Structure 1
């Protein structure tokens, strides 16, 4: 039987590339490898926190469950300082945008407390005084919307202003807002009395005595232990005031 294919002598022969061409290819490859090796390693670049979307668009995206979306949004904001291959310090974030996002979270879930906690205890702990003040002012602005439930975060803001920012007038303004606006039965005595102690720290003993007297006369204090404490404190201040 004749062979199915023609003899091998009829197949095309592979030609070798000229030596010069091979050397040129190898040289180009070596240059490419060397250039890639000399380049610095790729660096991750931080992305800026975008502005918060409108409340209307967030409510539309919530699909009838704004509380769930508020929690997811809060996780997004908190996780923004950890991006792929890079960690962003809080002091490098745009705090105006952070405050905007926290405001949106509260608008989606007005009964939620976590945005205020994050503002006063997390973002407010930054070493940059300007950024810290922005967060404390955010807490103060939102406090008035629901003072009987949001007073803990303004009380913490007052302590941050006093001990970390060393701004006693600012701390007293926050404490005064608690005394005047957080009047519900669930507000503890120490929160109502915070302004008194700050006034004493400011060496304003007359103001402290006036505050205690006002609380005693207002009828707002009904607990006998608190009444006794305030009366004893007033007696001590009066004794210290005598020449």
Structure 2
């Protein structure tokens, strides 16, 4: 009878690494007596160990976990109960694993951005701004989404104006003309209708050829509405 061969040293090394990975996987869950909805994100060096040389695989696994925090085993957790400061840490950590993918940005903006707690949305807006700055030519659209969240979810017109101005000032060629118009709507929300009218009028005068007929018509309607409001004519 042939004797069983002793496992190759590489096999032992692989098993050891798998053991380390499993241990790290449960790292955040053992920090407290009970499982948290959003565990603290591991430090970068821990992510490196967990990846076992395959950062893309780890990114996909952890991005799926990010999407399902609090919603496993038949449990559904309201977004208002999530720790958004920790979520922001996860957004950034996963961006470091894959700085090109928009998966995390989509999850942050279109899922976690729907929380009813306005104070939590600020963490999503901050992340989207950082994500856009890493590659403005590819990611400028996330600034537009950040404007939407600040203006309509947070009702923070000052922040919406700040982000809109950041978008309009991007040194990216061939940005749609409507991106230059976004500060006007935030200005109008702040009561600065005269400045809003001036901005849209300037865009129509200089960039009309880059606007669709619908966009140009919409800007004209906004100008007329703001002018009526300035004259005390209501809406």
For 2:120, the equivalent position in structure 1 comes to 131
Whether the aligned pair in 1 keeps the contact of 2:79 and 2:115 (CA below 8 Å) is: yes
Extract unaligned runs of 5+ from structure 1: 1-44
Give the alignment partner of residue 54 of structure 2, picking from 56, 59, 65: 65
Kindly state the Cα deviation for residue 69 of structure 1 after the two structures are TM-superposed. Answer: 1.8
CA distance in 1, matches of 2:198, 2:134: 28
> 1:97 matched to which residue of 2?
86
Gaps of 5+ in 2: 1-33
Query: Using the alignment, how far apart are the partners of 1:145 and 1:47 within structure 2?
Result: 31
Superposed, which structure 2 residues align to 1:196-215 within 5 Å?
A: 196-212=184-200
Give the aligned partner of residue 116 of structure 1. Answer: 105
176, 183, 198: which one aligns with 1:195? 183
Q: Which structure has the larger Rg?
A: 1
Shift of 1:143: 2.2
Choose which of 124, 128, 132 in structure 2 pairs with 1:143.
132
> What is the Cα deviation at residue 111 of structure 1?
0.8
**Further displaced range: 174-183 or 120-129:** 174-183
CA RMSD of aligned residues (A): 3.3
Q: Which stretch shifts more, 203-212 or 95-104?
A: 203-212
Deviations 1:21-58 (A, max 9, x none): xxxxxxxxxxxxxxxxxxxxxxxx75342211122332
| Alpha-carbon separation, structure 2, partners of 1:70 and 1:125 | 23
- Secondary structure, aligned partner of 1:184: coil
Per-residue CA distance 1:154-212 (angstroms, 9 max, x = gap): 21221122223222111111111110126232x32222321122223333133224534
Change (3 A) 1:223 1:54: farther
* Contact 2:136-2:170 at 8 Å conserved across structures: yes
2:65 pairs with 1:76: yes
Aligned residues: 194
Shift in Å at residue 85 of structure 1? 5.0
Question: Could you state the TM-score of these two structures normalised by the residue count of structure 2?
Answer: 0.68
Partner SS for 2:88: helix
